Amino acid sequence: MQKFNHNIKKYLNILGINENVSDIVPNLNGENDQDLQTCKKRYIDSSAYLNIKAPYIYCFLSRMSVCYTYAIDTMAVDDKGNIYINPKFGARDITAREFLGVLIHETFHILNLTFPRRGKKNPKIWNIATDFIMNRDILADGYELPKMGCIPVNNIVTIPTIIDPATGLPFTCNIENKSAEYLYDEIMRCLKDQDQGKDEDDTVNVGDVIYDTVSRKYGVVTSIDAKGNVHSKEITEAEIDKHLK
């Protein structure tokens, strides 16, 4: 048991999680905010449940910081292991069982190394692919998830807004025993034929979201000087979607 805990701690340190939540997103602390208090209780209850029923997931979750904020719509996580939770979403928009499932989902982003695995892939499509694969596994383990997410049905992914050029029908994919990389490639195959999706290349423009592999921080490009030097403003993982075109 000691060796197991040591390895988990070493792994968490390598990931660099449990660093302080960015000051960009203020943490709420309103005693009179009923949604916030309900949300905090659900987080505590979910953590206690995982400590007993899924200790491996709890080992990661217990090292992650939580930020309650209305700056995001639902729940999110960044590459440093900070979980962001909208109190209204956590308290009223989903059930307590769904809260547990979404909390596991955000933890899985860290546990499954989805951030370093992304590389130069299209961030939005990669996030969709990882969401479907992780949700498949979460549902298979008997947990519940909100219906509005990327939910496969009987291991089948359906995306009505994407047309598969091979069939002329909405995109479907069987993801049984498949990886996020496989699903990503299948989606990109359809999008490239429709000229809707592109992998990231080395061309950087103002407004692009970039990732510094050294500092492990995200940023949005604010300017590019005459010498080609890129200047950016740091952003959190939770802010990425609003900067993507």
pTM above 0.85, yes or no: no
Q: Which of 18, 130, 123, 131 is nearest to 80 (CA)?
A: 18
Q: For position 11, what pLDDT does the model report?
A: 46
Residue 203 in any domain: the answer is: no
Residues 105 and 128 in one domain: no
Residue 140 in any domain: the answer is: yes
Residues 101 and 50 in one domain: yes
Chain segment 117-152, per-residue pLDDT in tens: 999 999 999 999 999 999 999 999 999 999 988 999
Spatial distance between the Cα atoms of 227 and 137, rounded to a whole number of angstroms: 48
Domain residue limits at 215 = 209-243
Greatest CA separation for the chain:
58
Question: Of 52, 86, 111, which residue sits at a domain end?
Answer: 111
Q: Which residues sit opposite 55 in a β-bridge?
A: none
Residues 174 and 233 in one domain: no
Residue 143 in any domain: the answer is: yes
Residues 63 and 150 in one domain: no
Chain segment 13-67, per-residue pLDDT in tens: 444 444 444 444 555 666 568 999 999 999 999 999 999 999 999 999 999 999 9
Q: Which SS3 state, helix, strand or coil, does residue 210 take?
A: strand
Residue 231 in any domain: the answer is: yes
Number of independent structural domains in the chain: 3
Residue 204 in any domain: the answer is: no
Q: For position 99, what pLDDT does the model report?
A: 98
Q: Is the pLDDT of residue 211 over 90?
A: no
Q: For position 44, what pLDDT does the model report?
A: 97
Residue type, 62: S
Q: Which of 170, 158, 165, 174 is nearest to 195 (CA)?
A: 165
For the chain, give the number of residues: 245
Q: Are 171 and 190 in contact (CB under 8 A)?
A: yes
Average pLDDT over residues 163-171: 91
Tokens standing for 210?
């970039």
